[in-house]
Amino acid sequence: MPKIRTSIVFGSGVLPKNVGVGSTILFDASDFSGDLFWELISKPQDSDVTLTNLKGAIARLVNLSYGSYVVRLHIDIGTENYKSSIATVSVPKARGALPIPSEPSYGVGGRVRNFNFELPGILPGYAAMWDIIDDADVLDSNAGVSRGRIEPVNFSPVDGKHAFCLGDDLGVPADFLSSQIFSASQDVDFTNVNHLRLNLKRG
């Protein structure tokens, strides 16, 4: 699935976690096909932010205040082809240089960045450098504890403490429609690579 492209069209900062107060963010879904609908699903309490052009390929989040914002793009809502994608933006009260995350273990994962999901992503249950598709919102409940980026109780990662659980490590069922997807993916250059080894466990 394509990604939502984001940019600062007014204001300052660095996306997605270090944006200046009062900024305007542009969300570009022109790479998506289908009937598009934007929704602001999370914002700071008492925020006067406005999400514009809810049914177009380009939406804007205007007049950001301190806090975090989550925007969801719905594609073909109400149909069997329904999909969704999320974009997040944060406006910290004390802006500064973005922290540099720990270097992933390339010795184990090779060209796969953050091979064992050691670096946390923007949202709970997500892992840095990985693209997550979660049409059924499986990660919205207990993310990072029983599913998503977890410290598993019945599986030993090759290196580090974390693994990515596509189901539920505690055995709690999740409901999916036939058209919905739950996946973790990453673009990797396999030039001159002859073997790919994965450490998987099926529950």
pLDDT in tens, 17-30: 888 888 999 999 99
**Are residues 158 and 86 located together in one domain of the fold?**
no
Question: What total of structural domains would you count in the chain?
Answer: 2
Cβ atoms < 10 Å from Cβ of 174:
14
Give the residue carrying structure tokens 């504890």.
145
The pLDDT value recorded for residue 94 is: 63
The two three-digit tokens of residue 89, written as one number: 């933006």
The pLDDT value recorded for residue 100 is: 47
195 within some domain: no
Q: Which of 57, 91, 125 lies at the terminal end of a domain, its last residue?
A: 91
Laid out side by side, the sheet with 24-28 consists of: 5-10, 24-28, 58-62, 50-52
pTM metric for this prediction: 0.50
- Round to whole Å and give the CA distance between 20 and 11: 6
134 within some domain: yes
The two three-digit tokens of residue 48, written as one number: 């006067």
**Are residues 30 and 69 located together in one domain of the fold?**
yes
pLDDT at 97 over 70: no
pLDDT greater at residue 190 or residue 118: 118
Domain assignment of residue 134, given as a range: 102-188
Provide the CA 191 distance to its chain's centre, in angstroms.
27
* Bond before 101 cis per omega within 30 degrees: no
The pLDDT value recorded for residue 195 is: 81
194 within some domain: no
The pLDDT value recorded for residue 105 is: 63
**Are residues 87 and 118 located together in one domain of the fold?**
no
Q: Which long-range contacts (CB under 8 A, 24 or more apart) does 142-148 make?
A: 142/170, 142/172, 144/120, 145/170, 146/170, 146/172, 147/174, 148/124
Give per-residue pLDDT as tens, 185-202.
887 777 887 887 777 887
How is the chain split among helix, strand and coil, in percent rounded to 5?
Answer: 5, 35, 65
Q: Which of 67, 91, 115 lies at the terminal end of a domain, its last residue?
A: 91
CATH number for the domain harbouring residue 12: 2.60.40.10
97 within some domain: no
The pLDDT value recorded for residue 72 is: 93
The pLDDT value recorded for residue 145 is: 78
39 within some domain: yes
**Are residues 117 and 179 located together in one domain of the fold?**
yes
199 within some domain: no
**Are residues 87 and 139 located together in one domain of the fold?**
no
**Are residues 57 and 135 located together in one domain of the fold?**
no
**Are residues 36 and 79 located together in one domain of the fold?**
yes
Give per-residue pLDDT as tens, 47-73.
889 899 999 899 999 989 998 999 999
Mean pLDDT on 127-152: 81
Check the CA dihedral 145-120-112-70 and report its sign.
positive
Q: 123 Cβ partners below 8 Å, 6+ apart?
A: 70, 86, 88, 139, 143
Cβ atoms < 10 Å from Cβ of 115:
21
**Are residues 31 and 65 located together in one domain of the fold?**
yes
pLDDT greater at residue 176 or residue 25: 25
**Are residues 49 and 121 located together in one domain of the fold?**
no
The pLDDT value recorded for residue 14 is: 83
